[in-house]
Amino acid sequence: MKVLTVVGARPQFIKAAAVSRAFQEQEGIEEVIVHTGQHFDANMSDVFFEELKIPLPHYNLAINSLGHGAMTGRMLEGIEEIILKEKPDWVLVYGDTNSTIAGALAAKKLHVKVAHVEAGLRSFNIKMPEEVNRVLTDRISNVVFCPTNEAVSNLANEGFENLPVHIVKNGDVMQDAALFYVNLAKKPTFKLPTDYVLMTMHRAENTDDLDRLKSIIQSINEINQHTAVVWLIHPRTKKIIERENVAVDFKVVDPVGYLEMIYLLKNCSLVMTDSGGLQKEAFFFEKNCVTLRDETEWVELVENDYNILVGANKEAILSAFHEMSHKKNDFSLDLYGKGTASFIIAKTLLNEC
């Protein structure tokens, strides 16, 4: 069985590391990895393949820094050519990026089976490009791998039980990766405060709306007066901050590798983010989280009080910071499986082939 895996963004590299390892442990699976180039910065891409021991991509399309239409269109064209050459049994896509929808569309139009990892997630905000990508990818997939009961329920509500698609609740492959790499955590080279909040922010809804961006950063500036904040800044966000002359009074550093990220997660006191993946990783490493969004796909974290949604409202951000900084949570609850999600993917694809 040949699986053509399409990745392009940092979270997808981490997920692919876990699933590729499961493929290697199963007889009869050949994997061909396509890197679309969506994340092209060395800190956002190359370092992941090196330190996570992911097999180097067989193809790199080097498509980036374009609008949604141009990026997705060129990816679709490039992936189609590779599918025609490699003739895979499956095209495997992850998450909700332009790389995801391009891989799924290219495969479906060539009548190649599509498997979607991290399926069924919904923010119910169709203005988000990620929501568009995930909804459309689910709809044209042959197998959808759902990380949670909520994801399965979302698909049921959309009538997927009446469609020719195999719905599998397999757990979260990000937890597989976290469990595997936790003992390999690596201290970053930059100096860290003794006590710090770990922050990321990259979603267009925050960075492209100057009012939201300024409100969030002003809130974090104030938080930094109480507890040091370390912001891992996305290259695109960094350009916006510099262009708009937004005053940032806390520590800003470039993106780090996954092993350094694990170290930062293990040693921080709180996570503040608009990243879906980091919301879960905070839970994996037993940290409370404040999410700088109006909604989240990971509703079980909010429902179980591990996470608070604050949007860009300064009062809500400050209130949530003070609440979650002192809240003692029990992280023993099993929300995302027990580290077997990748194995289930490998076995399912073999059985379905």
Q: Per-residue confidence at 344, pLDDT binned at 50, 70, 90?
A: very high
Residue 45, pLDDT score: 54
Q: Does residue 43 register a pLDDT over 90? A: no
Residue 48, pLDDT score: 63
Do the domains 2-172+337-352 and 186-326 sit in the same CATH topology, yes or no?
yes
- Residue 153, helix vs strand vs coil: helix
Q: Per-residue confidence at 59, pLDDT binned at 50, 70, 90?
A: very high
In order of 170, 187, 261, the CA distances from 339 in angstroms are 10, 24, 19
Please state the rounded mean pLDDT for residues 337-347: 94
Q: Which residues pair with 231 in a beta bridge?
A: 199, 252
First vs last C-alpha separation in the chain: 7
Q: Per-residue confidence at 51, pLDDT binned at 50, 70, 90?
A: confident
| Domain ranges (residues) in the chain | 2-172+337-352, 186-326
Q: Per-residue confidence at 41, pLDDT binned at 50, 70, 90?
A: low
**Residue 271: burial class (beta carbons within 10 Å; 0-12, 13-18, 19+):** buried
Q: Per-residue confidence at 204, pLDDT binned at 50, 70, 90?
A: confident
DSSP 251-301: EEE----HHHHHHHHHH-SEEEES-HHHHHHHHHTT--EEE-SS--S-HHH
Residue 13, pLDDT score: 86
Please state the rounded mean pLDDT for residues 225-241: 94
Please state the rounded mean pLDDT for residues 163-182: 94
Residue 47, pLDDT score: 64
Mark whether 202 is an active-site residue: yes
What are residue 231's phi and psi, to 5 degrees? -105, 115
Please state the rounded mean pLDDT for residues 212-227: 97
Q: Per-residue confidence at 86, pLDDT binned at 50, 70, 90?
A: very high
Task: Answer whether 4's CB lies under 8 Å from 32's CB.
Answer: yes
Q: Out of 116, 202, 226, 322, which one is annotated catalytic?
A: 202
- Tell which wins on pLDDT, 42 or 263: 263
Residue 40, pLDDT score: 56
What are residue 297's phi and psi, to 5 degrees? -80, -20
Residue 208, pLDDT score: 92
Task: Answer whether 68's CB lies under 8 Å from 38's CB.
Answer: no
Q: Which architecture, in CATH terms, is 186-326?
A: 3-Layer(aba) Sandwich (3.40)
Q: Dump pLDDT digits (tens) for 106-135.
A: 999 999 999 999 999 999 999 889 999 999
Residue 315, pLDDT score: 97
Q: Which CATH number does 2-172+337-352 carry?
A: 3.40.50.2000
- Tell which wins on pLDDT, 313 or 236: 313
Task: Answer whether 173's CB lies under 8 Å from 342's CB.
Answer: yes
Q: Does residue 176 register a pLDDT over 90? A: yes
Please state the rounded mean pLDDT for residues 229-258: 93
Q: Does residue 332 register a pLDDT over 80? A: yes
